[in-house]
Amino acid sequence: MRLMLAAALLATTAATPALAGPQEDYDALTERYWQWQLEQYPTLASSVGVKDHDDRLTDMSLEAMDERTRTSEFFLARLRAIPGEQLTERDRVNKAILERDLETAIEGAQYGQRLINFTNRSGWHQSIAGLANNLTFRSAEDYDNYLKRLAAYPAQNEQAIAVADAAVEGGYVLPCTVLDGYAATISGVIGEDVTTSRLYGPFAGERPDFIDDGEWARYQARAAALIDGELRAAYDRQLAWFEEDYLPHCAEAVGVSAQPGGAAYYAYRARLMTTTELTPDEIHQIGLSEVARIRAEMEAVAAEAGFETREAFIEDLRTNPVYYAETPEELMRYVAREAKKIDGLMPTLFTVLPRLPYGLAEIPAEIAPGTTTAYYNPGSPQNGIAGLYYVNTSKLDQRPLWEVPALTVHEGVPGHHHQIALAQEIDQPDWRRNLFFTAFVEGWGLYSERLGIEMGLYDTPAKEMGRLSYEMWRATRLVVDTGIHAKGWSKDRAIAYMLDNTALSPANIEAEVNRYISWPGQALAYKIGELKIRELRTLAEETLGRDFDLRRFHDVVLGSGAVPLDVLEGNVRAWIAAEQAG
């Protein structure tokens, strides 16, 4: 099977469509590319207000994956054929960004790890369960299309399982240690009462005005029957497959380098996630340096709080009940108050604010115990859907209140919501608005935590230690992620390293280490991106002196949407030069 898989991977790059026809106009080619993206990813189309594919789900088959790679090669070749001197400066930059994105996608298709189609915290079964969050329901057709998508799920489930079976055959499997509790994320989606499932959510509220009582009852009955019948069978099928066919083959080694071609794949992931040429060894050393710096700052804060050692302060922060909410509602009220406080400070840091608001929600119960502290789900200006800051309200004795300020500026504003909502509004082609460079997006999120200092959010030693612990969390990621995937670290060693250096609770640390194991390289993006933004801010401050305007600097950083870090540096240097000339 491994020889067959290798042949399939080679075939992927050998069947590029012929470059027939005359050289294409840049605008026409990139529009053609965007329309292809919408066709390939129907739920993306729906999220940006394009209704043409509302009744479809993404084809997750290996054949579709191979065809996407061949088409990416076609677009890359046609794009490279367009002379740069014919383009505006903005189009030249965008052309280079698209070329880079296509190149990395094509390179990624050469690795067998592309067949790993779920992580310990995500999967196709969770994607369909949360699909309604990003859809509009403003007509009977919207409800019909949603039901058609639910009806299409069993076939998609079979496609995904077939790809995962190929991954098992090739030796590309997740480690056993990260899969505890994963079965519950499958079995927990549809309970005994299907009307409590997220899948049923669009039919659980009040009847919309454009549907009469009888028709609404029929919609509800169709949805309940579909979920209780075909979808329950699909979830049962996936659960049985996971427990009987996948788990017995899970990997003992936690590092991806133990897999066929794993070391080369991890080096690729490091480049992809950081948008740099840094090697895993170089990233590991950056992490060690940052850990030492932050640890010294934590010791100073502990002394200020009256503790003899950093460790004594952290022990108090982890165990003192005064720092913990007693109910989910208490935690959500605390987060909401912090979020509104930050909202009122935003004009001090930016001249441009997005129009789209964001809300708060609890992480779904079936995934909360094994997932991270919080996450952000983008909204859609086109569909009138706000962004959502999801908070984990499970294991309340592991969710300290002193981490809420840093958590909220990262996930809400000025972090993910502010950055992503602005990117959705900027004057750029649609395909550019929807590119996601992790080093930029997560680097900005971590940089936003530091902005909390200027916003006065860390007004107690506990909150300041919370900020430092979060920064340390991202610094230790550089060490732990590279340690696991490039240096042969065990899971226990990674956990011990994070317990020693951060103030995170043990439950959070284990969940995080499981995430790094199952999602190689993603954790490298945060600190590398943040360090670049801080470096560019220092450059601007030192170059411009008293003429430096922090609000305008932030506007420039965010003004082109998500970009690779070298493009960001070019943008900031051009702005500095313009400020000097002006």
What's the pLDDT score for residue 22?
A: 57
What's the pLDDT score for residue 420?
A: 97
Of the candidates 60, 226, 81, which has an alpha carbon nearest to the alpha carbon of residue 150?
226
* Distance, CA of 342 to CA of 331 (rounded, Å): 17
Handedness of CA 386, 387, 393, 394 (dihedral sign): positive
Token digits of residue 520: 């190689």
The gap between the terminal CA atoms of the chain, to the nearest Å, is 64
List the helix and strand counts (H, then E) for the chain. Answer: 24, 3
What's the pLDDT score for residue 21?
A: 52
Which residue reads 């022990």 in tokens? 315
Q: What is the dihedral of CA 401, 402, 408, 413, to 10 degrees?
A: 140
What's the pLDDT score for residue 504?
A: 86
Question: How many angstroms from the chain centroid is the CA of residue 198?
Answer: 21
Amino acid in the structure at residue 66:
D
The tens place of each residue's pLDDT in the chain, 582 residues long, gives: 333 333 333 333 334 444 445 567 999 999 999 999 999 999 999 999 999 999 999 999 999 999 999 999 999 999 999 998 889 999 999 999 999 999 999 999 999 999 999 999 899 999 999 999 989 999 999 999 999 999 999 999 999 999 999 999 999 999 999 999 999 999 999 999 999 999 999 999 899 999 999 999 999 999 999 999 999 999 999 999 999 999 999 999 999 999 999 999 999 999 999 999 999 999 999 999 999 999 999 999 999 999 999 999 999 999 999 999 999 999 999 999 999 999 999 999 999 999 999 999 999 998 898 788 999 999 999 999 999 999 999 999 999 999 999 999 999 999 999 999 999 999 999 999 888 999 999 999 999 999 999 999 999 999 999 999 999 999 999 999 999 999 999 999 999 999 999 988 888 899 899 999 999 999 999 999 999 999 999 999 999 999 999 999 999 999 999 999 999 999 999 999 999 998
Which helix or strand (DSSP H or E) is residue 567 part of?
Answer: helix 565-581
The mean pLDDT of the chain is 94
Which helix or strand (DSSP H or E) is residue 376 part of?
Answer: strand 374-377
* Distance, CA of 289 to CA of 216 (rounded, Å): 61
* Distance, CA of 484 to CA of 116 (rounded, Å): 18
What's the pLDDT score for residue 372?
A: 84
